[in-house]
Structure 1
Amino acid sequence: MPRLFVALPLPERLRDQFAELAGGIPGARWVPPENYHLTLRFIGEIDGWQADEVDEALAGIRARPFPLTFSGLDIFEKAGRIHSLHVKAERGERLLHLQSKVETALQRAGLPPERRRFAPHVTLARTERAAPDKLISFVQAHNLFRPEPVTVEHFCLFSSRLGKEQAHYEAEVDYPLSSPAPAGAPLPPREAAPP
């Protein structure tokens, strides 16, 4: 059974810019560019019937496209050990609004509330085996990293399947964000992500 999560996919030009940062930290396991994403909510393993309810709940979300800005690098640590390196996304009002709508929709579909505070980011590397001083230096050296903002026009329900080296992420369903429609205009139909 695949693990599911809701995330923002990233355009290729942004993935390319993130990929240029990879390297120079012995022991780091770099995330392949095709796996870059910004998680809105981790779901985990659920039964097929509940996945259908999650899909239905997410399809009901209405939000407008918005700009997404990234600024600098940072680390996550647990129990004093640095476990990952990431690019920070700014906590803009529209991003927080979309994430809140996703959270509410998933709770309505029967999922328990997310206990962790939403910290928008894109993971670049797993760093359990990397030297902390090298990581800190790397973050400081790239503190001014600030790619051009991108426009978020959709979000996806992704599946995650474990592979030998890395997990493989696949967009299962795409949920477009819609610009305000004139009064009485029908909303565009949503499409499944291409296989």
Structure 2
Amino acid sequence: MIRLFVGLGLPEGLGERLTGLRGQIPGARWVPRENLHITLRFIGEVDEEAAADLDAALMRVDAPPFELVLRDVGHFESRGRVRSLWAGVERDPALEHLQARIETACQRAGMAPEGRKFHPHVTLARCRDTRTARIADFLADHGGFGVPAFPVDAFALYSSALGRGGAVYTREVEYPLGRT
């Protein structure tokens, strides 16, 4: 079995900007720079045959290259507790089109439909027992965060191996945009 997701990698300089947002927040586990990405579709654990079917379906996804802008920071909560901190992705019709094409490809490959609404973001940290005041300070300190547009010319299928030091993401296959 292999644990997979479809995502967008980030340019090197952008990863450095994002790691610069890190602060002293007890209970926050910051995502390593090499793991920063935008998830387009979480797949989960699949066998090799399903992974091959997914790869074949994703090879048929085509969309034009586009640019994205990261803007603002925020958090996700679950049961009244902050679970993660993120950098937001500005709404973009080209990104939404690509994500919809990927979702269709996943379903054609036999994956169940995604139950959650697409909320593009870059996870910066996962939080556990983090004090609300520290989160509020982080959000206030970085509320004006933004970066200039960066090019998106491919998406990728990643594997995720869970280990003692956290997840290790490996780019398994890259799918260029604008092939037709």
**TM-score normalised to structure 2 length:** 0.97
- CA deviation string 1:49-68 (max 9, x = no partner): 11111000000011011010
**Equivalent pairs: percent with the same residue?**
48
Stretches of 4+ aligned residues off by more than 6 angstroms:
none
- CA deviation string 1:155-187 (max 9, x = no partner): 0000000111210000000000016xxxxxxx5
Q: Give the gaps of 5 or more residues in structure 1.
A: 180-186, 188-195
Distance 2:44 2:62 in 1: 24
Distance 2:165 2:80 in 1: 25
State whether structure 2 residue 17 is matched by structure 1 residue 2.
no
Q: Which residue of the partner structure matches residue 175 of structure 2? A: 175
Give the letter aligned to residue 69 of structure 1. Answer: V
Q: Which residue of the partner structure matches residue 136 of structure 1? A: 136
Give the letter aligned to residue 121 of structure 1. Answer: H
**Which stretch of the first structure deviates more once superposed, 10-19 or 129-138?**
129-138
Could you say what secondary structure the match of 1:98 adopts? helix
- CA deviation string 1:2-37 (max 9, x = no partner): 210000000100000001111221221111000000
Q: Which residue of the partner structure matches residue 153 of structure 2? A: 153
Compare the two structures and name the one with the higher strand fraction.
Answer: 2
Give the letter aligned to residue 146 of structure 1. Answer: G
Q: Give the gaps of 5 or more residues in structure 2.
A: none
- CA deviation string 1:79-105 (max 9, x = no partner): 111000000001200000000000001
Q: Which residue of the partner structure matches residue 27 of structure 2? A: 27
State whether structure 2 residue 58 is matched by structure 1 residue 58.
yes
Distance 2:76 2:128 in 1: 11
Q: CA shift at 1:129, angstroms?
A: 2.3
Distance 1:2 1:76 in 2: 26
Could you say what secondary structure the match of 2:138 adopts? helix
Distance 1:177 1:24 in 2: 38
**Which stretch of the first structure deviates more once superposed, 19-28 or 143-152?**
19-28
Aligned length in residues:
180
Larger Rg: 1
